């Protein structure tokens, strides 16, 4: 089947230096002899208007040039169309692309796209909203909310918000129900991960896989703020062992387990982010993995 690509380019993702991306995409696609169209990302996050174009013009691939939030919105809108999805990482974190081994350099990302190798990839739904990569409650969500308000994007701005929020960080009360256990706990954050990282190679769920049919749950429950730094580094370094949910010890500083679904009662109204984008704070969060729900263009292993 002849390949036809729709590129969706987010003009405000990440930092500057994206002015030439349109030219790179056009040049490389023409050199590869692949038919293509370019659309800008939309503020609403709803890409359902592309379904008719995909069907009528037999589009085979959707390529998203943006960050994790844009990727999540596009895949959530269009994964039922059966197209392949590619990523040109242009965000501040690019967690899904990095977890999949996709380079942040546009030309190398396009090499992966033109090679045409795709693999079934998991996603998950959180109160019915689709997510690809990582969502969370508490500290990292507060950072995401504050980061979204900044006039300047990029990694340096994100790091500033992390440090600014750390000194004022507080714990939140949650009631967590997995398939094997209910847990009442205070925690600084809860991460729900399909990919292994927040982004920028900052690995929060070392055992996470994009296609294992499981979600990795990381709960930072340390009672002492200063211990959070050390325990976070232990988690990032892969030193916190995975536990069976039935064997969770609520007194541990870091709780790490895998599950297909989880329910969280947000008793202290902790803020929420979904794939790095701020979301409304819910009272209860129902999360369930969606196994092999879309095909991702990625390098061969």
Write the pLDDT tens digit of every residue in 181-240: 888 999 999 999 999 887 777 788 889 999 999 999 999 886 666 666 666 766 666 667
Long-range contacts of 36-40, Cβ-Cβ distance < 8 Å, separation of 24 or more: 36/4, 36/5, 36/6, 36/7, 37/5, 37/6, 37/7, 38/6, 38/7, 38/8, 38/9, 39/6, 39/7, 39/8, 39/9, 40/8, 40/9, 40/10, 40/11
The per-residue pLDDT for 239 is 60
What pLDDT does residue 226 have?
A: 60
pLDDT of amino acid 92 = 79
Question: pLDDT class for 146, splitting at 50, 70, 90?
Answer: confident
pLDDT grade for 134, boundaries at 50, 70 and 90: very high
Residue 264 burial (C-beta neighbours within 10 Å; 0-12, 13-18, 19+): buried
At 176 the pLDDT is 94
pTM for this prediction: 0.88
- pLDDT score at 149: 77
Q: What pLDDT sits at residue 210? A: 96
On average, the pLDDT of the chain sits at 88
CATH tag for 129-292 (out of 2.60.40.1080, 2.60.120.260, 3.30.1490.20, 2.60.200.40): 2.60.200.40
Average pLDDT over residues 78-87: 97
How far is the C-alpha of 110 from the C-alpha of 29, rounded, in Å? 9
C-beta separation of 272 from 141 below 8 A: yes
Tens-digit pLDDT profile for residues 249-269:
766 778 899 999 999 999 999
pLDDT of residue 102: 96
Say what percent of the chain tops pLDDT 70.
Answer: 88
Res 59: pLDDT: 98
Question: For 228-236, which contacts have Cβ atoms below 8 Å and span 24 or more sequence positions?
Answer: 228/169, 228/188, 228/253, 235/204, 235/206, 236/202, 236/203, 236/204, 236/206
Greater pLDDT, 92 or 51: 51
Residue-range domain boundaries for the chain: 4-122, 129-292
> At the top level of CATH, which class does the domain 4-122 belong to?
alpha beta
Q: Is 255 helix (H, G, I), strand (E, B) or coil?
A: strand
Residue 86: pLDDT band by 50, 70, 90 thresholds? very high
- C-beta separation of 300 from 117 below 8 A: yes
């Amino acid at each position: 089947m002849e390949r036809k690509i729709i590129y969706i380019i987010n003009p405000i993702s990440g930092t500057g230096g994206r002015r030439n991306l349109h030219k790179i995409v056009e040049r490389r696609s023409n050199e590869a002899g692949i038919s293509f169209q370019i659309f800008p990302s939309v503020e609403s996050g709803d890409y359902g208007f592309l379904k008719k174009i995909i069907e009528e013009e037999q589009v085979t691939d959707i390529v998203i040039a943006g960050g994790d939030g844009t990727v999540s919105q596009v895949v959530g809108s269009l994964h039922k169309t059966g197209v392949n999805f590619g990523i040109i990482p242009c965000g501040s974190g690019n967690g899904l692309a990095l977890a999949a081994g996709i380079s942040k350099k546009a030309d190398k990302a396009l090499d992966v796209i033109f090679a045409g190798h795709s693999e079934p990839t998991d996603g998950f739904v959180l109160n019915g909203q689709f997510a690809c990569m990582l969502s969370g409650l508490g500290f990292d969500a507060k950072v995401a909310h504050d980061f979204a308000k900044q006039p300047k994007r990029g990694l340096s701005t994100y790091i500033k918000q992390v440090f600014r929020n750390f000194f004022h960080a507080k714990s939140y009360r949650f009631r967590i129900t997995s398939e094997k256990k209910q847990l009442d706990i205070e925690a600084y954050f809860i991460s729900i991960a399909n990919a292994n990282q927040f982004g920028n190679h900052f690995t929060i769920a070392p055992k996470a896989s994009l296609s294992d049919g499981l979600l990795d749950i990381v709960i930072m429950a340390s009672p002492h703020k200063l211990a959070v730094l050390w325990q976070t580094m232990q988690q990032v370094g892969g030193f916190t062992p995975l536990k069976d949910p039935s064997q969770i010890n609520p007194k541990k500083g870091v709780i790490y387990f895998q599950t297909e679904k989880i329910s969280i009662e947000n008793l202290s109204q902790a803020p929420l982010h979904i794939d790095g984008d701020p979301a409304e704070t819910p009272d209860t969060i129902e999360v369930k993995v969606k196994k092999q729900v879309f095909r991702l263009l990625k390098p061969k292993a």
